[in-house]
Amino acid sequence: MDFLLDSMHTDLASTVEAVTARAGGIAVARAWSEGDREPGLNVYRQLAESGITGLLVDDALGGSGAGAVEMVVALEQLGRVALPGPVAETLAVAPALLGGAAANDDLAPLLAGDTLASVACAPVTLRAADAEGAAVYLVTDDGLFRGVADGAQATVDPARTVSAVSAGDRLADIDTTAAVDLGALATSALSLGLASAMLELAADYAKSRNQFGRAIGSFQAVKHHLADVAIAVEMARPLVWGAAVGLDGFGQDTADVSRTSRPPRSPPRMPPTSRPVGHCRYSAPSATPPSTTSRCT
């Protein structure tokens, strides 16, 4: 089956790409790993101004009122530049948790880009990532708590630290299943974007690096390795997009799972400089056409 994004989704991707490009792309991650967090924090502020931080938050709570498909589009672009910091937590997990708990005092600064968010949720994530300077939350069987980070431990990634978290003030008793699923999906989208960028870098290097008087990309062994990675990335993309469609409530075994079948609601609220994101329409397999098509209109 094919998952096709419409022009508003591609505009959303272009908006995120432009934000990261103006900041210097991968240079932001290098600066973060060297202790200079300001370029990265500036990216998060610009994402908030564009409504990206609130994609998963209802417009009644000050968000954009979009969905998982739109979140995946945005985070794939952020993965391409390996944006440092708690990306999945700030753009997916925390908005879902705080929105579900109606914790407006915590949600407002997050949507405004004034703070990042990190979440520890046992047994999925036992520690909070990049908790320094972030609002930290802890999820346990007893509910959602503000968290207290205990120091920072280095990891194999110089741009990432992890911290143990203890419980602070209790915020709510909520079902965290959706937030955990969105966190896994956000991490998958980031990984997909990172894999795509790494493949492009490797292919460009293979075309420019010469050995024995020829570009190494002309050697069969190199071409086959690159082709294997390209196939893996392209096979992963519809799985990630399909998971997003599923989390938005439209299973693949449903005959008519168009978003338009839901009760009507107001369009997503976006800043004047941004276009509202589109809606994804999925059609189940038919006996006539050779493939199924998912179109966002």
Per residue in 154-206, pLDDT (tens digit) is: 999 999 999 999 999 999 998 888 999 999 999 999 999 999 999 999 999 99
Residue 283 has pLDDT above 80, yes or no: no
pLDDT for res 251: 64
Burial tier of 183 (Cβ tally within 10 Å: 0-12, 13-18, 19+): buried
164 burial type by CB count under 10 A (0-12 exposed, 13-18 middle, 19+ buried): middle
- Which residues contact residue 35 at a Cβ distance below 8 angstroms, ignoring those fewer than 6 apart? none
| Mean pLDDT value across residues 217-221 | 93
Is residue 211 very low, low, confident or very high in pLDDT (cuts 50, 70, 90)? very high
In the predicted structure, residue 287 carries a pLDDT above the cut 50: no
Say yes or no to pLDDT of 263 above 60: no
Q: Is the pLDDT of residue 70 over 80?
A: yes
* pTM of the shown model: 0.81
44 vs 250: CA distance, rounded Å: 30
CA-CA distances (angstroms) from residue 73 to 13, 23, 28, 296? 6, 19, 20, 12
Half-sphere exposure of 285 (CA within 13 A, CB side): 6
Could you tell me if 64 and 51 are in contact, meaning their C-beta atoms sit under 8 angstroms apart?
yes
- Check pLDDT > 50 for residue 267: no
Distance (Å, rounded) from C-alpha 118 to C-alpha 96? 13
User: Any residues with CB less than 8 A from the CB of 39 and at least 6 apart, and which?
Assistant: 23, 24, 27, 28, 31, 32
Direct distance between the N- and C-terminal alpha carbons of the chain, in angstroms, rounded to an integer:
17
pLDDT, tens only, 136-160: 999 998 899 999 999 899 999 999 9
Q: What average pLDDT does the chain have?
A: 85
Contact between residue 106 and residue 66 where contact means Cβ atoms under 8 Å apart: no
pLDDT of residue 3: 59
Q: List phi, psi (to 5°) of 62.
A: 95, 5
pLDDT of residue 233: 96
